[in-house]
Amino acid sequence: MSKLLVFIVLQLRLIYTSNVQLSSWAGDSSARLRRVAVGGGGTWGVDKNDVIYYRDGGQWKVYPGRLRDISVGGSEIWGVNSGMYIYKRSLDSGWSQVPGRLIQVSVSNNNNVWGVNSANSIYRFTGSTWQRIAGSLNVVAVGSSGVWGVNRNNDIYYRTGTYGDANTAGTQWEKIDGRLKWISVGQNIVFGVNANDDIYYRYGITSANPKGTKWVRVGGKLSQVDVHGSTVWGSNSAQNIYSLHISCQGEPSLSTWEPFGTKIKKVSVGGLGVYGITDDDNIYTWQSGSTVWTKVPGSLIDISVGKLEIWGVNRKYQIFRKVGTQGSWTLFPGSLKQVSVSENNNVWGVNSGDAIYRRVGSSWQNVAGRLKCVSVGKAGVWGVNSADNIYYRIGTHGDTNTPGTTWQNVAGKLKWISSGDNIVFGVNRYDHIYYRTGITAANPIGTHWVRVGGALRYIDTYDGAVWGANAQLNSFRLSITRSPGRQRAERWTHQTPAPKFKRVSTGGAGVWGIDTQNKVHYRSGNVWVNYPGALTDLSVGKSEIWGVNAQDQIWRKAGSGSWIRIPGLLRQISVSQNNRVWGVNAGGAIYRRVGNSWQNVAGRLTCVSVGQAGVWGVNSADNIYYRTGTYGDVNTAGTQWQNIPGKLIWISSGNNFVVGVNRQHYIYYRAGISAANPIGTHWVRVGGLLSQIDTDNNNVWGVNRNNDAYSLTVSIKTDSQERLTGWVRENDPLNFKHISFGKAGAWAIGTDDSIYQRVANEWRLYGGKLKVISVGGTEIWGVNSADNIYKKSLTGGWVNVPGKLKQVSVSGLNRVWGVNSGDAIYRRVGNSWQNVGGRLKCVSVGQAGVWGVNRNDDIFYRLGTYGDVNSAGTSWQHIAGKLKWISSGRNYVIGVNSGDNIYYRAGISLSNPLGTRWIQIGGKLSQVDTDANNVWGVNSAFTPFTLTVSAPPQANEVICSTAGLIGSNNKWVSAQPNGNVEVNRGWYRTWEQFRWEFDTTGGVYIKSFHNRYLSAQPNGRLEWNRTWKRPWERFIIVRKGNKIALKGHHGKYVSNKNNHIVDCSATSIGNAQLFTVHPRNCLKAEIPVHSRWTAMHQAPDLKLVSVGKGGVMAIGTDDSIYARKNGNWEVVPGKLKVISVGGTVIWGVNSADNIYKKTLTGNWVQVAGKLKQISVSENNRVWGVNSGDNIYRWLGSSWQHIGGKLKCVSVGQAGVWGVNSGDNIYYRTGTWKKHCLGC
C-alpha cells in the first residue's frame, strides 16, 4: 500500500523578461568631452574648457555658450556654468537663465528637474521655484526609474515614490547597496561609475521593485555615463566618447507560488507527463487534466521522463525503459543508480561508482569523468559530482546525439540538477533552489545562478514546467511563461563587432580564431573575417594553419590554399614558426608530425605547445612539463619530460618565454628561458584574466571567460628578458616568496632564491642564493636550499655558519633561533647551537619573546623569553588559534593562517606575555615579518606588501598617578618615615598614598609620600629608602582578576605577612601576595572575553539594536520599535529609524530626523531639533549628528553645537567616539570616565 497522502503543491510561474544586450562600442574621435548627456532633446556634451557641443547628423558641432554640466530632457536641455548659474533651453530657443545656483543638474524625459548646490543640498524645480529636499548628495539623476543620487562618500540613494518619472518630491531617501561616484537613470535601468571608473548597471528595476535587486559590473572604464531609452553614452578619463545601443531578449524571472499536490520523494516531467516515486519506491503519474496521482505498476528509486520514453532504475541498479504511457517496463542490460532522458530521447546515466554513461544504439558508451547526478536536455548535458561541483558537457547544447568534448566546471554548488530549454534548475545541500540564466547556443554555460524561493530536495524541468519534491515528500510544480518586462545589461562590447571566441592563435600566417559555434575567423586589419570550416582547436604557424574538428579529425591549410584532411585523430594541436606540429588525442596520448606520419611520444598531456622555447605541455592534473632537448624549435622528439613547478590548464611556447593560464584564469609567463637554461627560472603573474592563450615570437593573443579576444605585444629589454608590455603594470614589483624587516633594513627572497635588499625605495639584487632570510639589529641571517646557514653584518659579506637549519629568525638584539628539517628547535649560544625541546616548523624571536608554529599549525609561546632576553626560556605554552607562519614584534605577534588570512596577537605585555586574543587584519598574505613598528609580507602571487604599526599602548594596570594598596588582611600598606614597609593601617592618608611611575616596557616604580622608592633587597627585605630608580626599585604588575601582585627584580613576589610585615620573598602567588588597588577605579577595567554569539531565534527582522541600563530595544526593517522583555520582543508604539538606550531614558530619531525621548515607563516626547543619529550613555548624556554631519550634545534644554563633522557618534563610559564620512575614527579628548570595578 503506497503512502499516498493529501498534499499541497505550490506552483511558481517563471516569467521571461527583457534582457538588455549592449551592442558594439561606437567610438567617436571628432570631439573630446568631459560630460556627455542624452535624452529626447538629442545628444549634448561639454569639454574641459566648458565649450558646448551638440550631435547633429553623426557629427559634433559647437553650440554657443559655456557650461560646466549639462543634462538633456524630453524637450529641454539644462546646464550650469562655472559660476554655478543655471540655464535651460528648449529645442527651438536659445539659453535662458533660471534663478538659483547649482553645481549639477538633471532633467528627465518628462522635463522634471533636480539638482545639487555647492553645499550638496538637493533641490527640485517646481516650475517657478526650487524646492529644498532633505538630504545631501554630490550627484542627483532623474528619469523613468525615479530619482537616484550619490553622496560625497559615494553612497547610493533612491528617492521613494519617484519611480515612473512622476512630478513629485517623493517621501524619503532609501540607501542602496554599493558605491558610485556618478549615476544616470534610464527606463527600468540605472547606470553608474565608481571611483575606479568601473561601470555598473542596476538589475531588476520594476514598478513593483523600483530599487532593483543587484548591481552588475560591465566591462570598460568610464568616468561619466548617461542613459536614455535604448542608448547609453559616456566619456572616459581621457575624455574619449563612447556610445552603445540596448536591445532586449527573454530572461527568466519569478513571480508567485500557487497551490497544487502527494508524498513524492522524486519527480520527473517530460513529454509523457509527470511521474513520481514515493519513499517506498512506488511509481505514480500525474497526467494533464488530472486532479490526483495515479499509481503505475513497478518499483523504482529513480525515474526520468522523455518525449516518447520513460527510463528508471531500481534498488538493484537495474535499468528499465517504458515506451509511451501504456507500455510495460522492459529490462535493459547494464547497471545505473541514476538516469536521465531528454526530449529527443538521448539517455545518460551514472553508476554506483559515479562513472558516466550515454546510450548509443543498444549499448552504453562510457564518458570520461565522475558524477553523482547527470541530466540531459535542450540546454545540453549537465551534472554534479560528489563534492557538489557543477559541470557542463561542452558540445552538447541543443539536445544533440553526441558525447560532447570535455566537462567544463561551472561556478556554484548543487547536489541535484536538471537540464531544460535554455535553462538549468538545481538544488543545493540546503535544498535551496536555483536556475541558470543566460543560456544560449552562443553561451551554453549561461551567465549566473538565480535563487528561487522555496526549498526542494529534487527537481526536474521540461517544456515550460518545473516539478520538484521537498524533504517532507511534498511535491511542487511551477510553470514557465514569457512576457516583456525588466531590462538587464550583459556587457560592454568592442567598437568593432567581434565574434565570441573560445580559441585564438597567432603566428606568421596571421591571427586566427574559433568562435563558440566552432566557426573559423581570421584577422584582417582590425576586422574579423569568417573563413569556411568548423574546428574545435586551431594553431597558426609561419606558413601553415592546423586544426581539429569536433570529430577530432585533423586539418591543414597552407598559404592561400583550402583545408586538407590529414590522416589521424587529435583533440588539440600546435604548430610552431618552423611548422613543427605536435598534438594530443582524446586519451591524452602525445604525437608529433614526422614527414607524412605521426610519431607517438611517451607521456600523457591535455595540452601541448611547440615554439622557439621548445615543447611544453600540461596534463589533466594541471602539472607543467618541458620536453628536454626541444629548445630552439628544432626538429626532434626530445629526450624526456621534465616537470616544472606550478599549475596551468593551458600553455603556449613563445620566443624565450612561455605563457599560460591556470584554473582561476590567472595569466603567467615563464621568465629566464635561454638556450643555457631552457626551463627558465620562475613564473611571473601578469594582470588580467584569460581562459586560453597563444603566442608567437612577439605577439600574445587570448580569450577570456566571456569569449572576448585580447592581444598584447612583447618587448625585449636590454637584458634579453622578455617583458609583457600590455598586461604588466608600470613599476610592477618583483616577485618575492619571503620577506623580512628589522633594524638592518628590509630584505627579501625572490621565487628563484635570489636575494634583494631594499635601498632608497627600490629592491636591489644582492649576491647569493637563500630560501629564507631574517633581519636583526646589526645582522642578517639566512638558509639556502641545502639548509646551510649564513649570516652577514651590515657591511660584510655572507659567512657560512656550521649547522643545518630550514628556517632561521634573528631579533633586534641579534638573538638567533631556528628549526631544522626534522622540526627540532635550536638557539644560538655563542658559537654553537643549543637544542631546545619541542618540535616547530617555524620559529620567530623578537621583543614579544619566542613564538612558533608546528606542522599542525598549532601556536606556541616560549615562557620566559619576553623582552628579547638572552634565555632559552622554560617551556612551550600552547596558544589558542591556528597559524602557518608567525613573527614576533614589539608587544604584538603577527602571523598568517592556511587561508592566508592575517592576524595579530593583542594584549601582550611583560605582565601578560601570552597576550589576550587574535585580531584579524584585512588582506591576504602567505608570509609576514615584523620588527618594532613595521610589517612586511608577500602574498600568494609573490607580491610584497608593507604596513606601519603604531606603537601599542603599554599594559599599565594602575591608571591613576596616585593610589594605595590594601593587603589580604584588609589593612593599608604604609610607608614609615624610617623606611619600614607595614600593612597595619585602617585608614588612607598621606603615608598610605603612593605615586605609580611606569617605564616604557611595563615596569613600575612606587614612590612614597617621603619621596623614597620601594626597593626589593636580594634577601627579600622591602624598604622605602631609595631616591633613584634602578633594577631593585622596578616591579612588574601581575593581574589576578580585580587584584594585583607585585614581582620584584629578583623574581620574588611582595607578600603580606601575618605580623603586618611586608617583604618580597614569595616564589608564587597566593592570597597573601594579592593586593587591592584603591581607589578601585584606578585599576584598569578588564576586557570582557566573549565565548560566542547566541542566535535570537524567532526574532522580528531588525536593522538596529541598542542595549543599556534601561534594557534592550531594537528597530525593525519597517522602523517599528521593539523592547526585549522576558526573553521576547514586544512591540512599542511609534516609528523610529535609530534608537539608543541610556540609564533611565531612551532616545531616538525617525525617518524625518525628528528627535524623541521617553522614560522607561513613559511615552514618547518630541524634542526640538533635527538629528539623523543619536546616542545616550548610562548617565543619560546625549550626543547626536544631523544630516549635514554636524555634531551636537544635549544640555538639558537645548543643543550645544560641537566643532567637527561625524556621520555617527557614540557616548559611554569610554567617552565620546565617532566616525566621519571617510570612515576615520575619532575620540573626543576629555570625555573619558574612568572604569570602576566593584563600585
Q: How far apart are the first and last CA of the chain?
A: 73
The pLDDT value given to residue 172: 93
Is a pLDDT exceeding 80 seen at residue 798?
yes
Q: Which three cell numbers stand for residue 874?
A: 622554560
Q: What is the per-residue pLDDT for 149?
A: 96
Out of 397-401, 982-986, 1059-1063, 1156-1160, least confident range = 1059-1063
Higher pLDDT pick, 587 / 249? 587
Give the chain's mean pLDDT: 81
Do residues 937 and 739 touch, judged by C-beta distance below 8 A? yes
Nearest 5°: phi and psi at 916? Answer: -115, -40
Burial of residue 441, with CB atoms counted within 10 A of its CB: 0-12 exposed, 13-18 middle, 19 or more buried: exposed
- For residue 828, is pLDDT > 90? yes
Collapsed DSSP state (helix, strand, coil) of residue 1024: strand
How far apart, in whole angstroms, are the C-alpha atoms of residue 162 and residue 586?
59
Look at residue 504 and tell me whether its pLDDT is greater than 60.
Answer: yes
For position 20, what pLDDT does the model report?
A: 44
Least confident of 100-109, 274-283, 773-782, 795-804: 274-283
Q: What pLDDT sits at residue 139?
A: 95
Q: What is the pLDDT of residues 512-538, one digit of tens each?
A: 889 888 889 887 766 678 888 899 999
CB 559 within 8 A of CB 546: no
- The single-letter code of the amino acid at 949 is V
pLDDT of residue 357: 95
Predicted confidence at residue 7, as pLDDT, reads 24
Residue 951 pLDDT greater than 60, yes or no = no
- 1107: confidence class by pLDDT, cuts 50, 70, 90: confident
Where does the pLDDT of residue 1099 fall: very low under 50, low under 70, confident under 90, or very high at 90 and above? low
272 or 454, greater pLDDT = 272
Give the pLDDT band of residue 104 (cuts 50, 70, 90). very high
Say if residue 16's pLDDT is above 60: no
Q: Which residues of 532-564 are buried (b: 16+ CB within 10 A; e: fewer)?
A: ebebbbbbbbeebbbbbbeebbbbbbeeeeebe
pLDDT of residue 555: 94
Phi, psi of 1081 (to 5 degrees): -75, 5
What pLDDT band is residue 395 in, cutting at 50, 70 and 90? Answer: very high
pLDDT for res 696: 65
Q: How far is C-alpha 38 from the chain's CA centre?
A: 35
Classify residue 472 by its DSSP letter.
Answer: T
Weakest-pLDDT range from 329-333, 438-442, 701-705: 701-705
pLDDT, one tens digit per residue, over 590-623 is 999 999 999 999 999 999 999 889 999 999 999 9
Q: Which helix (H) or strand (E) holds 659?
A: strand 658-661
Model confidence at 725: pLDDT above 60: no
Q: Which residues contact 182 (CB under 8 A, 6 or more apart)?
A: 139, 150, 192, 193, 223, 224, 225
Cα 776 from Cα 529, distance rounded (Å) = 63
Give per-residue pLDDT as tens, 176-215. 999 999 999 988 889 899 988 888 888 888 888 899 988 8
Whether 728 has a pLDDT exceeding 60, the answer reads no
pLDDT score, position 1200: 94
- pLDDT for 220 beyond 70: yes
pLDDT at 762: 62
| CB 40, CB 74: distance < 8 Å | yes
**What is d(CA 676, CA 679) in angstroms, rounded to the nearest whole number?**
9
Going by C-alpha positions, the residue among 139, 143, 190 that lies closest to residue 165 is 143
Contact 203, 213 (CB under 8 A): yes
pLDDT score for 148 = 95
Q: For residues 982 and 973, give the distance between their C-alpha atoms in angstroms, rounded to a whole number.
A: 6
Q: What local confidence, expressed as pLDDT, does residue 955 receive?
A: 43
Nearest Cα neighbor of 890 from 852, 933, 936 is 933
Above 60 in pLDDT, residue 1168?
yes
Contact 734, 718 (CB under 8 A): no
- Which of 129-138, 813-822, 956-965 is predicted with the least confidence, judged by mean pLDDT? 956-965
Element (H, E) at 1159: strand 1154-1159
Q: Is the pLDDT of residue 33 over 90?
A: no
CA dihedral 673, 679, 685, 691 (to 10 degrees): 110
**Distance from C-alpha of 305 to C-alpha of 307, rounded to nearest angstrom:** 7
Question: Which of 680-689, 725-734, 1078-1087 shows the lowest mean pLDDT across its residues?
Answer: 725-734
- pLDDT tens digits, 910-926: 778 888 888 887 677 77
Q: List phi, psi (to 5°) of 1031.
A: -55, -35
Contact 448, 438 (CB under 8 A): yes
pLDDT given for residue 683 in this prediction: 82
- pLDDT > 90 in the chain, percent: 33
pLDDT of residue 277: 87
Q: How many CB atoms lie within 10 A of CB 113?
A: 25
Bridge-based pairing state of the strands 475-482 and 9-18: parallel
Query: Locate cell 603566442: which residue?
Result: 695
Q: Residue 17, SS3? A: strand
Identify the residue with better confidence: 482 or 30: 30
Give the pairing of strands 465-469 and 458-462: antiparallel
3-state secondary structure of 991: helix
Rounded to an integer, what distance in angstroms lies between the CA atom of residue 382 and that of residue 390?
7
Least confident of 515-529, 635-649, 1057-1071, 1085-1099: 1085-1099
DSSP states along 1188-1235:
T-EEEEE-SSSEEEEEEE-SEEEEETTEEEEE-TT--EEE-TT-----
Q: Which of 417, 364, 368 is nearest to 389 (CA)?
A: 417
Residue 320 has pLDDT above 90, yes or no: yes
Burial 281-292 (b: 16+ CB within 10 A, else e): bbbbbbeeeeee
With contact defined as beta carbons under 8 Å apart, do 276 and 300 qualify? no
How many angstroms separate the CA atoms of 348 and 426, rounded? 17
Between CA 538 and CA 521 the distance in angstroms is 11
User: Which is higher by pLDDT, 901 or 312?
Assistant: 312
In the DSSP assignment, the letter for residue 702 is: E
State how far the Cα of 151 lies from the Cα of 180, in Å rounded to an integer: 9
Q: What is the pLDDT of residue 933?
A: 54
According to the model, what pLDDT value does residue 12 have?
A: 29
DSSP E strand boundaries for 787-890: 788-793, 799-804, 807-810, 816-819, 824-829, 832-839, 842-846, 849-853, 858-862, 876-882, 885-888
What was the pLDDT predicted at 30? 58
Q: Count H helices, E strands: the chain?
A: 0, 123
pLDDT band at 383 (very low <50, low <70, confident <90, very high): very high
Q: What angle (nearest 5°) sits at the alpha carbon of residue 134, between those of residues 132 and 135?
A: 120
Q: How large is the average pLDDT for residues 68-83?
A: 90
The gap from C-alpha 477 to its chain's centroid, in whole angstroms, comes to 36
Cell 605554552, located at residue: 877
Distance CA 570, CA 575 (A): 13
Q: Give the residue among 850, 848, 839, 793 at the shortest CA–CA distance from 816.
A: 850
Distance (Å, rounded) from C-alpha 1060 to C-alpha 972?
Answer: 10
- pLDDT over threshold 60, residue 1094: no
Q: DSSP state, 628?
A: T
- Name the phi and psi angles at 730, rounded to 5: -65, 140
- Number of residues assigned to the chain: 1239
The backbone torsions φ and ψ at residue 890, rounded to the nearest 5 degrees and listed phi first, read: -95, 105
Distance separating alpha carbons of residues 1108 and 1017, to the nearest angstrom: 50
Of the listed ranges 41-50, 281-290, 672-681, the least confidently predicted one is: 281-290
Helices (H), 78-169: none
- Categorise residue 962: left if φ over 0, alpha if ψ from -120 to 50, beta otherwise: beta
Mean pLDDT of 52-68: 82
| pLDDT confidence of residue 276 | 84
99-103, 580-584, 1088-1092: least confident range: 1088-1092
Cα→Cα distances 1014→962, 1083, 1084, 1097, Å: 14, 20, 22, 57
What confidence category does residue 251 fall into, taking pLDDT thresholds of 50, 70 and 90? very low
Band of residue 480 on the pLDDT scale cut at 50, 70, 90: low
Q: How far, in Å, CA of 310 to CA of 343, rounded?
A: 11
pLDDT digits (tens, 9 = 90+) for 1172-1188: 999 998 888 999 999 99
Reported as half-sphere exposure (CB side, CA atoms, 13 A), residue 835 has a value of 9
Whether the per-residue pLDDT at 19 is higher than 50: the answer is no
Q: What is the pLDDT of residue 640?
A: 95
Beta bridge partners of 13: 479
Phi then psi dihedrals of residue 309, to 5 deg: -135, 155
**Cα separation of 106 and 115, whole Å?**
6
The C-alpha cell that represents 88 in the structure block: 535651460
